[in-house]
A and B are shown apart, each in its own frame.
Chain A
Amino acid sequence: MLLEVEHLSIRFGGLLAVDDLSFAAEAGQITAIIGPNGAGKTTVFNCLTGFYRPSVGRLALERDGVTHYLERMDGYRIARDAGLARTFQNIRLFAGMTVLENLVVAQHAPLMRASAFSLAGLLGLPGYRRAETHAIEKSCAWLDRIGLLARADDAAGNLPYGAQRRLEIARAMCTDPALLCLDEPAAGLNARETGELMALLRAIRDETGIGILLIEHDMRLVMGVSDRVVVLNYGQKIADGPPDAVRHDAAVIKAYLGEEDAA
């Protein structure tokens, strides 16, 4: 079990945004969290990534044999030590920096180690230079994979929307995560781009063996790519299982009340 969420609850003042949620995400699988707007999906993400502190619950992420309890960790430690990488609903790229720089920044932790608090870097020692070259190569490999190698030196903010989405995913992957969390990655993408995204996600899952957790509204993507679907409504889990089972679940259909995408 890669990620185990147990009895997660979070309260904002009088509002119980997430109510006793438990589910699991496996490595080598794509798990989707769906539900109507306001169901608490992004709130769950924010709890996982350290932006909110849950009122109750345990979030256990296992990486390299070590279990990390995310509910007690600082945001940046969750990314760096526990290996949970995330993309955002409103893309958060470093718009003023280049495409390449965005990916190199993601490899901050290993580069910092190699530069020995910048001393090795300042002196231009070969150990650091090797690390930097490796980081650039890795970035280029990802850029090639998402088709942005030709635009490596362009400002990230100048890319078209679909490219920015892909870049954000590539950036998250450059942190060598154990679990990749994607917040509505298909938002704003057209059908073709969504298809490409689905292929990318499947490729990541199959080649790297990491787990992917995603929030989505686009049912074609969810049904087409997920190994497991968790359905939330008003902060509570109302279904949890393979896509086909969830699709025909009575409670889920009721919650969506005919909003189900017949894609």
Chain B
Amino acid sequence: MGTRVAAALKDAALAGFVALVLAFPLVGFATNDEGGPSLAIHTRFTWVLLGGAGVFAARLVLTVLRALLPHLVKVGRSNSPARLAGPRRHGARLFGALLVAFAIALPFLPFSSRYLVDLGTTVLIYIMLGWGLNVVVGLAGLLDLGYVAFYAVGAYSFALIARWYGLGFWEALPLSGLLSASFGVLLGFPVLRLRGDYLAIVTLGFGEIVRIVLLNWTDVTGGPNGIAGVPRPTFFGLVLLPRAPNGGATFSQFFGLSFSPDQRIDFLYFVILALALVTNAFSLRLRRLPIGRAWEALREDEIACRALGIDPTRVKLSAFAIGAMLGGFAGAFFATRQGFISPESFTFQESATILAIVVLGGMGSQMGVVLAAILLVTFPEFGRAFAEFRMLLFGAAMVAIMVWRPRGLLAQRAPSVRLRAAAVAVEAT
């Protein structure tokens, strides 16, 4: 026992020492930037010591935990197949249903406010993006680091279609989706034969190329200024404005309500909620179809897929297309919500954020993506410090998740077909 304590202390001391070394230059010194750029520096050695001490303590705690609860803190080596969800899905389904009910009721709840509904709208956009990327990364196992490209194509295509052809949101939405899907196929073609790492880098390159083009092709995309005046969605033709632009009734007039800007906020919220619910149903359904199974089989073992007569090209392209289409829908909605778009919203950071959502939620899990998106979007709202530390913590979380639980926090893979359930279906037909 004594030697184990000594070993643990030595190990923690080493960790603490390394932390001190790491912290010394970057934590220990900083320029006095408060008034403006300057070359004078001040020292923060107390922070360095705190950092070292903190790491020492954390390492010690980790060692103790590992000794006490070995299976909980087991690290890495996770080539074992994912745990499969048991038949007792009732709990999960109930939770899902409650979440949906809460979401529908949100604008009407007593503690609700414009701010909260806005936040909910942002959460739902990220949920849609997460589900879209989930098809590509989680189901098909293709690590796409440039997903933001499809988000951008959806947004810009909607803005441009509205500007050039005067179409409204509902008419342009399917077109945006179609364009994004085509883009997905276009971007998918070159990466078909690439392995995981290379595929990731190439998709990253594509994402960056799209952003640079958006930034520089000023004639079409408006360059850094983007495109303004993107039309808002209508409620079956009724606009949600104080006055209808071309005559005709407004939403509030039609329903005999007095106009309030909250109506538009709430309406946008319900639009994205509806889109999200349809996306969810669509994704769940696809997973049970041969194409969904083929995606997962491809992720498991591409060579075995080929040996079974499955065309990897077609399967990969369909994953890209569907994922891109969903991203495009989210992009179109994003454009209509903001009223204007610019390349700033479509950086690699966005792709990384969406990836973080999918990874943390457990690649392949619908509910996991929801929870991770809620966490990611609401986190900075708790305070200034949280906002600053958000991406830092998410980066650390990604590393931690991969090391500790590579299949994500919530990943229990629900099989796409179950014998017991199937037996019932067989009897019914």
A binds B: yes
Q: Which of the 9-residue segments A35-43, A75-83, A197-205, A218-226 touches chain B?
A: A75-83
How many residue pairs link A and B with beta carbons under 8 A? The number is: 137
Q: Is the CB of B301 within 8 A of A130?
A: no
Contact residues of A between 40 and 78, Cβ < 8 Å to B: 49-51, 75-77
Q: Is the CB of B308 within 8 A of A122?
A: no
**Whole-angstrom distance from the CB of B288 to the nearest CB of chain A?**
8
In the complex, A82 Cα to B413 Cα: how many Å?
34
Q: Is the CB of A76 within 8 A of B310?
A: yes
In the complex, A95 Cα to B79 Cα: how many Å?
10
Q: Is the CB of A96 within 8 A of B82?
A: yes
In the complex, A153 Cα to B282 Cα: how many Å?
24
Asked if B426 lies at the interface with its beta carbon under 8 angstroms from chain A, I say yes
Q: A104-B417, A121-B289, A122-B282 are in contact. Are A98 and B84 (CB under 8 A)?
A: yes
Nearest-neighbor residue (CB-CB) of A119 within chain B: B289
Q: Is the CB of B304 within 8 A of A118?
A: no
Most chain A beta carbons < 10 A, residue from B290, B296, B305, B422: B290
Question: What are the residues of chain B within 8 A of A86 when measuring CB–CB?
Answer: 307
Interface flags for B408-429 (1: CB within 8 Å of A; 0: not) read: 0000010111111010011001
**Whole-angstrom distance from the CB of A125 to the nearest CB of chain B?**
12
Q: Is the CB of B415 within 8 A of A97?
A: yes
Most chain A beta carbons < 10 A, residue from B294, B310, B429: B310
Interface flags for B64-80 (1: CB within 8 Å of A; 0: not) read: 00000000000000001
Nearest-neighbor residue (CB-CB) of A176 within chain B: B309
Q: Is the CB of B289 within 8 A of A79?
A: no
Question: What are the residues of chain B within 8 A of A100 when measuring CB–CB?
Answer: 415, 417-419, 422
Question: What are the residues of chain A within 8 A of B297 when measuring CB–CB?
Answer: 94, 97, 105
In the complex, A154 Cα to B86 Cα: how many Å?
10
Q: Is the CB of B419 within 8 A of A93?
A: no
Question: What are the residues of chain B within 8 A of A137 when measuring CB–CB?
Answer: 426
Interface flags for A160-182 (1: CB within 8 Å of B; 0: not) read: 00000000000110010000000
Q: Is the CB of A108 within 8 A of B426?
A: no
Q: Which of the 9-residue segments A20-28, A109-117, A234-242 touches chain B?
A: A109-117
Q: Is the CB of A109 within 8 A of B413?
A: no
Interface flags for B280-307 (1: CB within 8 Å of A; 0: not) read: 0010011001110110110011011111
Nearest-neighbor residue (CB-CB) of B308 within chain A: A106
Question: What are the residues of chain A within 8 A of B305 when measuring CB–CB?
Answer: 76, 105
Q: Is the CB of A76 within 8 A of B429?
A: no
**Whole-angstrom distance from the CB of A50 to the nearest CB of chain B?**
8
Nearest-neighbor residue (CB-CB) of A137 within chain B: B426
In the complex, A118 Cα to B80 Cα: how many Å?
31
Asked if B81 lies at the interface with its beta carbon under 8 angstroms from chain A, I say yes
Give A residues with C-beta under 8 Å from B: 49-51, 75-77, 79-81, 85-86, 88, 92-98, 100-101, 104-106, 108-109, 111-112, 115, 118, 121-122, 129-130, 132-133, 136-137, 140, 149, 152-158, 171-172, 175
Give B residues with C-beta under 8 Å from A: 80-82, 84, 282, 285-286, 289-291, 293-294, 296-297, 300-301, 303-312, 413, 415-420, 422, 425-426, 429
Question: Can you list 24 A-B contacts with CB-CB less than 8 angstroms, sorted by A residue number?
Answer: A75-B306, A76-B305, A76-B310, A79-B307, A88-B307, A92-B304, A94-B301, A95-B81, A96-B300, A97-B293, A97-B297, A98-B84, A100-B422, A105-B290, A108-B293, A108-B309, A109-B309, A111-B290, A118-B290, A122-B286, A133-B422, A136-B419, A153-B420, A175-B309
